[in-house]
Amino acid sequence: MAYFGCRPGEARALQWEDIDWENKVIAVKRTFSGSELRPRTKTGRIKYLPITDEVEGFLKPIRGLGGFVFRNEYGKPYRKQRLQTLWKAAIPCRPAF
Fold for 2-86, please state it.
hpI Integrase; Chain A (1.10.443)
CA separation for the pair 9, 35 (Å, rounded): 9
Domain chopping of the chain, boundaries: 2-86
> What whole-number percentage of the chain has pLDDT above 70?
88
CA separation for the pair 71, 15 (Å, rounded): 10
Instruction: Report the 3 state secondary structure along the chain.
Output: CHHHCCCHHHHHHCEHHHEECCCCEEEECCEEECCEEECCCCCCCCEEEECCHHHHHHHHHHCCCCCECCECCCCCECCHHHHHHHHHHHCCCCCCC
pLDDT digits 0-9 by tens, 43-54: 999 999 999 998
